[in-house]
Amino acid sequence: IYKSQAETGEIKGHYLNATAGTCEEMIKRAVFARELGVPIVMHDYLTGGFTANTSLAHYCRDNGLLLHIHRAMHAVIDRQKNHGMHFRVLAKALRLSG
């Protein structure tokens, strides 16, 4: 990021996906993003889980990173009329988790 900004004179951004199988790996990826100068970390909270989201949210908050929540799989959960739940319920649970 720093190199491309220096070469072009433009502000650059990238959403580094930190979603992983364990919280420890997600934090490692967030640390790596910070070292690269990436200001935004992305997390898929439906596949990563709410507890992992809480850990990642705390790390990002404490280290000046923005946390972007990706919602892959949401169509399977909140757009089906016969099963699942409304996205507002998922969003509320997400806010409560961090």
Instruction: Give the pLDDT of the chain (98 residues) as one tens digit per residue.
Output: 788 889 999 988 788 999 998 999 999 999 999 998 888 999 998 888 888 889 999 999 999 999 998 877 777 777 777 777 777 888 888 788 77
**Domain span including residue 91:** 2-96
Please report the pLDDT score of residue 33 as a whole number. Answer: 93
Contact criterion met (CB below 8 Å) for 16 and 33: yes
pTM of the model: 0.77
Count of domains for the chain: 1
Instruction: Tell me how far apart the alpha carbons of residues 25 and 5 are, in angstroms, rounded to a whole number.
Output: 28
Residue entry with tokens 């739940």: 85
Residue 17, H or E segment = strand 15-17
- Structure tokens belonging to residue 89: 């319920």
